[in-house]
Structure 1
Amino acid sequence: MSKRRINKVAVIGSGIMGSGIACHFANIGVEVLLLDIVPRELNDKEKAKGLTLEDKVVRNRLVNDDLAKAIKSKPAPLYHIDFAKRISTGNLEDDIAKVSEVDWIIEVVVERLDIKKIVFDNLEKHRTPGTLITSNTSGIPIKFMSEGRSDDFKKHFCGTHFFNPPRYLKLFEIIPGPETSTEVLDFLNGYGEKFLGKTSVIAKDTPAFIGNRIGIFGIQSLFHLVKEMGLTIEEVDKLTGPVIGRPKSATFRTVDVVGLDTLVHVANGIYENCPNDEEHDIFKLPDFINTLMENKWLGSKSGQGFYKKVKNADGSSEILGLDLDTLEYRKGKRASFATLELTKTIDKVADRFKVLVKGKDKAGEFYQKSFGSMFAYVSKRIPEITDEFYKIDDAMKAGFGWEHGPFQIWDAVGVNAGIQLIKDLGKEPAAWIEEMLASGVESFYTVKDGATYYYDIPQKKYVKIPGQDSFIILDNIRKSSEVFKNSGVVVEDLGDGILNVEFQSKMNSIGGDVLAGLNKAIDIAEKDFDGLVVGNQGPNFSVGANIGMIFMMAAEQEYDELNAAIKYFQDSCMRLRYSSIPTVVAPHGMTLGGGCEMTLHADKVVAAAESYIGLVEFGVGVIPGGGGSKEMALRASDTFRKGDVELNTLQEYFLTIGMAKVSTSAYEAYDSGILLPGKDIVVVNKDRQIATAKAVARMMADQGYTKPVKRNDVKVLGKQALGMFLVGTDSMKDSNYISEHDNKIANKLAYVMAGGDLSEPTLVSEQYLLDLEREAFLSLCGERKTLERLQHMLTKGKPLRN
C-alpha cells in the first residue's frame, strides 16, 4: 500500500479556529490553502475606493482579514512570523477547485449541520478520491455529517477536533464515522502525535466526545457546588489552580478567557443530547449563568465576565470579582484555607491530593465533594465514551492543561479512599471498579520496565499503554536506572550508552548542587558511557541561576565566595562544551539566564518548539556571568564575514543581552543567535524530546566524536566597538529610554563584548573573555541598585526598573 504523506492541506473556514489550525500546519512546514465565503456586500472602505463585489480583494476580504487578525493575536499562533508565507488564501467560489491538489481537507465552518452538509456537497465535487477529509466539530455527531456521501468520502472522513488555541493545547481528538477506515484512523493518530506534536486520542462518536464531556461536567459541577457551599469565585480559583496542578487561570478566569458563550453552547448540547446521563441535571445552567448570558457578560471578549478590570481615578487598574449572590462587582477578595497551608511544603502535586481530601475546613469539604463526584462520573463514562480509561486522563491533561487526569488523581488518593468519597455523596462507582478491586488489582496504573501499564477492563489485567516506544518518561525510569543522585539532580542511564542529567531543584534553578551533579554526570559519562543529555520533564527547563544564593553572598559582601561560585558556573558550562563525550541539551518552556547559558554550551541542542529562551540577567542588575556574555561575543566573531560592518554584527548580539530578549518559540531563538541553524534542532512534540536528544547523542558518538579544541581565535574589536556602545547607551539614558543603572550594566557588558579597551581588533581566548565577564558580574554585585533588583525579583517575582 502506498505511503500517505501530507504536503498540502486545505482549511475551510477562517474564523478563530480555522485560522489557528492553518497557522499550526504552517508551523510544521505544511503548505496551507485557507478558504472562506465571499462577502455579500461592500464595506464603507471598499465603497469609498469604488470597488465592486467582483474585485478579488473584496471577494477574499473575509479570509484575509481573519488571517491577519489571527497572526497579530497573542499568544502568537505561529512559531515564527515568516511561517505565514506558507499559507495562501482564497474563497469558496473562485478557489474551491484547488482542493483537488491537497492531501487533507479540514472543515472548520460554523457549528450547524445544514451548513456543513452544503460545504461537503461542494467539496465532494472537487475532492480527489483518497484525500482525507475531516471536520473540526466540537459536538455534531460524525454519523450525521457523512450521511448521503459517496463510499470513498465516508471511508476517508472522520472528526478531528483541535482545541483552541491549536498551537498551545495538545489534545487532538479523532472521532470515527460509521465507515471510517482503520488505515485513516491509524494514520491520523500517528500524524497528530509525530508531526502536529499532539496527544492523539481516538474517541467514540458521543456528544462532546471525551475532553469536553468530562471538562464541562467538571466546570458545571463546580458552578452548582459554589452556590451550595457559599464559596466566592476567588476561593474556587484558589482551590482549582496550581495547588492541584491546574493552570493559574483555574476555573472562573479560564471561563472568562474561553468565553462563557462557548461553554454554554457545549453544556446545552450535552444536556439536550444525553438524556440518559445519570448526572443530566448537572448540565442544566444555574440561574447566575443565565443572567450573565442575558447581560452579555461573556468574559474577556466582552470586557467583563466573572472578573472585570476597571481603571481607578489615579490611573491604576484593579480587578473586581463578581458576587454570585448579588451579581454585582466588588473588590477582589483574598482567599486562604488552612488545608492549603498544609500542602506548601509538598512539591509534587500528586502527593498533595491525599492531604487535600482529608482537610477539616471548607477546602477539605470542597475537595471531598468535587473529587467524589468527578470519580463517580468518569467511572460511569466507560464504555460509553471510550473503552480505555487512560484516554480520559490523556484528554484532560492535553485539552484542559491538568497535570493529572481524574484516574491518576484517584490513584493518588487511593482507590478505596476514592470509593468512600463517592459513597459519602450518596453515589456509587461503576461496577467495574469493584470488580477490579475484587480481582486483587489496587491501582488503575502501574509502572514496569520504564513503561506505564493500565488496568484493561475486558481483559481484567494490566496492559501496556500503546505508543510509548517513541517516548522516554523520566518519572518511569528514575528509580530503576538511577546512576547518581544529590539534592539538585538525578543522573539516569537512558540505555544505549547515553546518560541523562535531570535537574530536581525548585523551578529547576541552578545552584551549587545542580552544578556538582552536572560535573559528576560528565565524569561518569566520560568514564563509562558514550554521551550525555541534559534534560528534564518539569514545566520549565530552568529559570536560571539561584539568585537567592547570589543575593545572600553579595549582600554579605562575600566576594571571594561569590567569585568562586561564578567561576564554578563558567567552568561547568565550559566542561559541557569541552568534555570528551558528545553533550546534548534539551530545553523546553522557560529556559532563562543560566538555563540559556547551559544551552549555549552544548555540542548540540534539541529544543522543544515551545521553548522561551533568553539571557535575562539585565532584569536583576547583572550581565550573564556563566559564559553567556563570552559566548555572544564568540558567536558574533564567528559570523563576521569579509567586508561586513563587524560593529553592526556585534551590536545585534549585544542587544540580545541588553534588551533581555526572550524568544516566544525555539524558532525565534535562531534569530537571536541562541540556536544555530544546521547544528541545533527543534522537536514539535515535547514528549519525544528526551528520546530524540538521546538518539542525537548516540549518532554523534557513532560518527566518531572527538573532543573540541579550545578556542583562542575569538576576534574582539576593542576601543572601536567600546566607543560605539558607550555613545549609544549614553544617548539612550539621555532620552530617558533606560535608567542610570541600566546604563551602567550596559557599559559593563559593552566592555566584555568588545574585549576590553584594546587599541585594535585582536584575537583572544575564551578564558580571556570569561575573566572579563566574571569581573564585570562581581563589580555589579557590589552596586546597591543591583541588590535592590535581586531582592525585588526574589520577593515579588518580577523585575524592578530602578
Structure 2
Amino acid sequence: MTNVSNFIVRKVAVLGAGVMGAQIAAHCVNARVPVVLFDLPAKEGPKDGIVLRAIENLKKLNPAPLGNAADAALIQAANYDDHLALLQECDIVIEAIAERMDWKHDLYGKVAPHLAPHAIFATNTSGLSINELAEGFSDELKARFCGVHFFNPPRYMPLVELIPTRTTQPDILDRLEGFMTTTLGKGVVRAKDTPNFIANRVGIFGILAIIHEAGKFGLTSDVVDDLTGARLGRAKSATFRTADVVGLDTVAHVIKTQRESLPDDPFQTVYATPPALEKLIAAGNLGQKTGAGFFRKAGKEIQRFDFATGEYVASGAKGDESVVKLLKEKDVAKRMAALRASDHPQAQFLWAIFRDAFHYAALHLESIADSARDIDFAMRWGYGWTTGPFEIWQSAGWQQVAQWVKEDIDAGRALCAAPLPAWVFDGRAGVHGNEGSWSAARQGNVPRNDLPVYRRQAFRAPLVGESGPLADAKTAGVTVFEDDAVRIWHQHDEVLVLSIKTKMHVIGPAVIDGLNKAIAEAERNYQGLVIWNTDAADGGAFSAGADLQAVLPLFMSGGVEAIGPVVHDLQQAYLAMKYAQVPVVAAVSGLALGGGCELLLHAAKRVAALESYIGLVEVGVGLVPAGGGLKEAALRAAKDAKGNDLLQFLKDNFINAAMANVSKSAYEAQKMGYLAADDVIVFNPYELLNVARSEARALHAAGYRPPLRRQVPVAGRYGIATIMAQLVNMRDGGFISEHDYTLGSMIAEIVCGGDVMPGSLVDEQWLLDLERKAFVTLLNHPKTQERIMGMMQTGKPVRN
C-alpha cells in the first residue's frame, strides 16, 4: 500500500447517472479530477444516451452543480455494455444507483471483475447496510469497499460520511478522507454501519420530533419554519421547507428505513410517517420538484398545506414577538432556561424540540458514532446547524439541562420513557474539551484525527468546549496591531496576516488605516502579507464592500467635498498594496463585492475558495466603482488587446460593472477577469490560509518584485461614443432606467479613459481621478441617494 499522503487519484468512475451520481461527477470535474459517468445502455438512440442527457441536464440545474457550465463536456459518458474496461483506469469507483439492495448487488457482480486491483470501491447509499452490500465480495475486494455518503447538492453541502465494513482496511478510509477533504473540499465524518448513519438518523428524527411537537402545541408549518430556521442557528429552509427541498418521497423513504430497520429503538413510535406526509405523497405533491409539498407557490403567494383540512391556505404567519425575543438572548443558558420556564405554547414547543434532540443524541451516541464530535459535525455540515446538539447542550449548562431532560422523561413529557445514559450524570461539564470528545462506546475521550491532510488547516472547524492556540483564530498567534477594525498578526513565522473585523468585513477609514499599517509592517519585517478573515471557512464574506454607514456622518456634516479625500485614501491604499515591496496575497471566500472586489484585484496573487462570489456591484446603490475596479478593467483590456481593437476587450468588463454581475463560483470569476488564470482555487475553505501563506512564501522565494508602473492605451472618445449608442438603445427600449443610463455612461467614460483620442496613453492616477470625480458627483444625485437609503434600510437594491 502506498503512503496515505501520496494517494494520487488519476480518475474517478461514478456508477449511476441519476441526480446524485451526475452531481458527484460534476463536483469531481469542478476539482479538476477526470471522471467517467456510467449508466445503463439506452434502448433507443446512442447507447450513452442516458448519461449524455444527465450531463446536459447538469447545465440547467439550480443551484449549479458545476463551477463552470462548459465543464460538463469534461465528463466522459459510458455504459455498462461497452465501457467496463475503463474501470481499470480508475482509482476510486463510486456507486450511486437507486436504493435497492438487489439492484446494487447485480451491478457489483458486473463491475467487480473490471476494477483495478488497487481501486477503492465505495457506495453512495444513504442508509443501506454497508456490510450487507459487501456480501458476496472476495475478501480482497471487501477490504477496499466502504460507504461514502455525499449530501445533496454535493457541490455545496460540506458533509461526507465515510462508513467502513467490518473488514475495510483502515488506510482505505484514511486515503478517502484525505481526497474528500482537500480535493473535493468536504467535511468528513466517520459513521458506524447503522440505519441512515449519523446525519440522516439524527436529522430525520429531528424533523419527525418537530412535526410531532408542532401538532401537540397546535402550531402551523409557517410558524414552525419561522421558529426553527435561522432563529435557531439552523438552515434558512428550517423544517417543512427543508423536507420540500429534499423531496417528500425521499424523506418518506428514510423514515421507512428507520422504522423497519430499528424495531427495538425506544423512539420507534416517532418513526411513523406523519399522516400529512402520506396525504401529500398520495396526491403526487413531493415538494419542490413537483411544485407543491408542505408549501406551494400560487401566483405570487406562498401557500401552506393545512394539516386539518388537507387544503392549501394562505401562509406567512411568524413566531410570536415575545418568543422571538427570548431566542435573541445571546447567553445560551439563559435562553434555554427562559424557553423552559415560559408558558407560551411556542416557547414550550421550542424547549420540547431541544429536549428531544438532546435525549435522542445521548441515547444513541454509543451505537451510531465513535464520539459526540461526529454527531455535532454531521448536523453542522449535513443539515446546516451552526452548532450541533451536544454543543448547544454543553453551552446551556450540561448538568442543569440534563436534570431538566430527566424531569421531563420521568413526568412522561418526553417522546419516550428511556432514561438518559449514566455517563450523562457523571459530573461532567460537557462532551467536548481539549483532550477530545466523549465516546460512549469507548467510555473515554477521543482526540481528533491527526491525518496529514489536517496539517493544511491552520484552524480546524471549532467545537464548543475546545480552547488553546489552534481553537480560535481571533486570538491565535502573535498580535502586532489590533483595533476595532482590523487585527494584524502572525503565526510565529515570516508571513504577516491582516484580518478585517468589521461586520461583513466592510471597508471604511479604519480598515484603510489598518491596510496601510499592515503593508508598512510587512515591508519592514516579513516576506509577505496575507489578507484573510477568521470566518472565511464558515460562510463569512471576504468583504461586502465600502462601509457606507461609516462615511455617512462625514457626508452629512461636510457634503460631497468631505468624501473625496476618503475615496482618495482608499485608492492610494490599494495602490500601495499593488506596489508593495513584498507580495500581498488575498485569501478570498464568500462575498467579495464592490470595494472588496477591488481589494483583491490589487493583490499580487489571489487564493480563492470555489464558493467565491465576486463582482463590482456599486450601481446597486447608484454609484460607480471608485477603488480602482474600473481602472483595473482598463488595464486588463490594454494588456489583453496587445495593440488590437481595445473596445472588444473592454466590452465584457464594462457589462459586468454596469450590470453589477457577480460570479457564481471562482471559476466564473476567472472568466470575468476578477481572478487571474494563475490564481489558485481551493476547495476546502479551512485550507485557505495555509495555501495563501504558502503562495506568499513562494513568491518571496522566487525573488518577488512589484509590477513596474506604466502608461496604457485607452479607447478614448471613440469607445465612449460606441458604448453610449448601445446605452441609448437600452434606455429607449425600456431595458434600463434613466439613472442606469447615467451610471452606464459614467462607467463607459472611466473604462475608456475619458474624452481623449483613441490610443492615448494614460497612467493609473488619471483613471483613478476619473473614478473619484464620478463617484463624488453621483453622491449629490437624488436618485443615487434614494438607492443608498433603500439599501441601508432594506438591504435590497432600489431600481429607480
**TM-score normalized by the length of structure 2:** 0.91
Residue 420 of structure 2, aligned match among 414, 417, 429: 429
Please give the secondary structure, in 2, of the residue aligned with 1:172.
strand
Please give the secondary structure, in 1, of the residue aligned with 2:642.
coil
Residue 501 of structure 2, aligned match among 488, 501, 504: 504
1:492 matches 2:489: yes
Residue range with higher mean Cα deviation, 233-242 or 31-40: 31-40
Cα contact 2:101–2:128 (8 A) shared by 1: yes
Partner Cα separation in structure 1 for residue 212 and residue 122 of structure 2: 36
Please give the secondary structure, in 1, of the residue aligned with 2:304.
strand
What is aligned with 1:621? Answer: 622
Cα displacement string for residues 42-91 of structure 1 (whole angstroms, at most 9, x for unaligned residues): xxxxxxxxxxx4x5x2x222222222112211111111123222211122
Partner Cα separation in structure 1 for residue 151 and residue 471 of structure 2: 27
Cα displacement string for residues 313-336 of structure 1 (whole angstroms, at most 9, x for unaligned residues): xxxx11112233333222223313
Partner Cα separation in structure 2 for residue 697 and residue 357 of structure 1: 52
Cα contact 1:620–1:800 (8 A) shared by 2: yes
AA partner of residue 505 (structure 2): N
Question: How many aligned positions are there?
Answer: 770
1:344 Cα deviation (Å)? 5.0
Cα contact 1:146–1:154 (8 A) shared by 2: yes
CA RMSD of aligned residues (A): 2.4
**Structure 2: gaps spanning 5 or more residues:** 460-469
Cα contact 1:109–1:116 (8 A) shared by 2: yes
- Aligned sequence identity (%): 38
AA partner of residue 567 (structure 1): H
AA partner of residue 743 (structure 1): Y
Please give the secondary structure, in 2, of the residue aligned with 1:73.
coil
What is aligned with 2:548? Answer: 547
Cα displacement string for residues 453-477 of structure 1 (whole angstroms, at most 9, x for unaligned residues): 4345647457355354321228614
1:594 matches 2:590: no
Cα contact 1:350–1:412 (8 A) shared by 2: yes
1:600 Cα deviation (Å)? 0.7
Partner Cα separation in structure 1 for residue 194 and residue 132 of structure 2: 12
Please give the secondary structure, in 1, of the residue aligned with 2:135.
coil
What is aligned with 2:727? Answer: 729
What is aligned with 1:650? Answer: 650
What is aligned with 1:478? Answer: 474
What is aligned with 1:170? Answer: 158
Cα contact 1:9–1:31 (8 A) shared by 2: yes
AA partner of residue 666 (structure 2): A
Cα–Cα, structure 1 residues 776 and 789, in superposed 2: closer, same or farther, change >3 Å?
A: same
Cα contact 2:564–2:772 (8 A) shared by 1: yes
Cα contact 1:498–1:697 (8 A) shared by 2: yes
1:343 Cα deviation (Å)? 5.3
Cα contact 1:343–1:355 (8 A) shared by 2: no
Cα displacement string for residues 655-678 of structure 1 (whole angstroms, at most 9, x for unaligned residues): 221121111100111111110112
Cα contact 1:162–1:173 (8 A) shared by 2: yes
Cα displacement string for residues 568-619 of structure 1 (whole angstroms, at most 9, x for unaligned residues): 2222222322333321111111211111111111111110011111111112
What is aligned with 1:83? Answer: 71
Partner Cα separation in structure 2 for residue 455 and residue 39 of structure 1: 51
1:554 Cα deviation (Å)? 5.2
1:355 Cα deviation (Å)? 6.7
1:330 matches 2:299: no
Partner Cα separation in structure 2 for residue 748 and residue 96 of structure 1: 59
Cα contact 1:337–1:361 (8 A) shared by 2: no
What is aligned with 1:365? Answer: 348
1:443 Cα deviation (Å)? 3.4
What is aligned with 1:133? Answer: 121
Cα–Cα, structure 1 residues 143 and 475, in superposed 2: closer, same or farther, change >3 Å?
A: closer
Residue range with higher mean Cα deviation, 99-108 or 513-522: 513-522
Cα contact 2:58–2:72 (8 A) shared by 1: no
Partner Cα separation in structure 1 for residue 341 and residue 787 of structure 2: 41
What is aligned with 1:582? Answer: 583
Partner Cα separation in structure 1 for residue 341 and residue 248 of structure 2: 33
Partner Cα separation in structure 1 for residue 292 and residue 216 of structure 2: 24
Cα contact 1:376–1:430 (8 A) shared by 2: no
Please give the secondary structure, in 1, of the residue aligned with 2:491.
strand
**Residues 189-588 of structure 1: matches in 2 within 5 Å?**
189-311=177-299, 317-335=300-318, 336-341=320-325, 344=328, 361-426=344-409, 428-435=419-426, 437=427, 441-446=428-433, 453-455=436-438, 458=442, 460=444, 463-464=447-448, 466-467=450-451, 468-473=454-459, 476-481=472-477, 482-536=479-533, 537-538=535-536, 539=539, 540-549=541-550, 558-588=559-589
Cα–Cα, structure 1 residues 682 and 484, in superposed 2: closer, same or farther, change >3 Å?
A: same
Cα–Cα, structure 1 residues 185 and 402, in superposed 2: closer, same or farther, change >3 Å?
A: same
Residue range with higher mean Cα deviation, 164-173 or 757-766: 757-766
Please give the secondary structure, in 2, of the residue aligned with 1:160.
strand
Partner Cα separation in structure 1 for residue 38 and residue 718 of structure 2: 54
What is aligned with 1:773? Answer: 771
1:689 matches 2:675: no
1:667 matches 2:667: yes
1:261 Cα deviation (Å)? 1.0
Cα–Cα, structure 1 residues 511 and 282, in superposed 2: closer, same or farther, change >3 Å?
A: farther
What is aligned with 2:467? Answer: none
Please give the secondary structure, in 2, of the residue aligned with 1:801.
coil
1:252 Cα deviation (Å)? 1.2
Partner Cα separation in structure 1 for residue 772 and residue 324 of structure 2: 42
Cα contact 1:369–1:425 (8 A) shared by 2: no
1:134 Cα deviation (Å)? 1.1
What is aligned with 1:604? Answer: 605
What is aligned with 2:17? Answer: 14
1:756 Cα deviation (Å)? 1.1
Cα contact 2:646–2:714 (8 A) shared by 1: no
AA partner of residue 687 (structure 1): Y
AA partner of residue 373 (structure 1): D
Please give the secondary structure, in 1, of the residue aligned with 2:606.
strand
Cα contact 1:292–1:305 (8 A) shared by 2: yes
Residue 36 of structure 1, aligned match among 34, 39, 57: 39
1:707 Cα deviation (Å)? 4.6
Please give the secondary structure, in 2, of the residue aligned with 1:29.
coil
Please give the secondary structure, in 2, of the residue aligned with 1:140.
coil
Partner Cα separation in structure 2 for residue 531 and residue 140 of structure 1: 51
**Residues 37-56 of structure 1: matches in 2 within 5 Å?**
37-40=40-43, 53=44, 55=45
Cα contact 2:486–2:514 (8 A) shared by 1: yes
Cα–Cα, structure 1 residues 493 and 756, in superposed 2: closer, same or farther, change >3 Å?
A: same
AA partner of residue 8 (structure 2): R
Partner Cα separation in structure 1 for residue 658 and residue 122 of structure 2: 47
Partner Cα separation in structure 2 for residue 595 and residue 14 of structure 1: 39
1:720 Cα deviation (Å)? 2.0
Cα contact 1:271–1:280 (8 A) shared by 2: yes
What is aligned with 1:45? Answer: none
Cα contact 2:333–2:397 (8 A) shared by 1: no
What is aligned with 2:108? Answer: 120
What is aligned with 1:161? Answer: 149
Cα contact 1:382–1:388 (8 A) shared by 2: yes
Residue 749 of structure 1, aligned match among 734, 747, 750: 747
AA partner of residue 697 (structure 1): A
**TM-score normalized by the length of structure 1:** 0.91
1:722 Cα deviation (Å)? 1.6
Cα displacement string for residues 740-786 of structure 1 (whole angstroms, at most 9, x for unaligned residues): 11111011111111111013422222111111101001111111111
Please give the secondary structure, in 2, of the residue aligned with 1:609.
strand
Cα contact 2:630–2:750 (8 A) shared by 1: yes
Cα contact 2:217–2:346 (8 A) shared by 1: no
What is aligned with 1:50? Answer: none
AA partner of residue 472 (structure 2): N
Cα displacement string for residues 172-198 of structure 1 (whole angstroms, at most 9, x for unaligned residues): 111112221112111111111111111
**Structure 1: gaps spanning 5 or more residues:** 41-52, 312-316
Partner Cα separation in structure 2 for residue 612 and residue 93 of structure 1: 42
What is aligned with 1:43? Answer: none
Please give the secondary structure, in 2, of the residue aligned with 1:510.
coil
Partner Cα separation in structure 2 for residue 356 and residue 412 of structure 1: 15
Cα–Cα, structure 1 residues 362 and 591, in superposed 2: closer, same or farther, change >3 Å?
A: farther
1:487 Cα deviation (Å)? 2.3
Residue range with higher mean Cα deviation, 684-693 or 468-477: 468-477
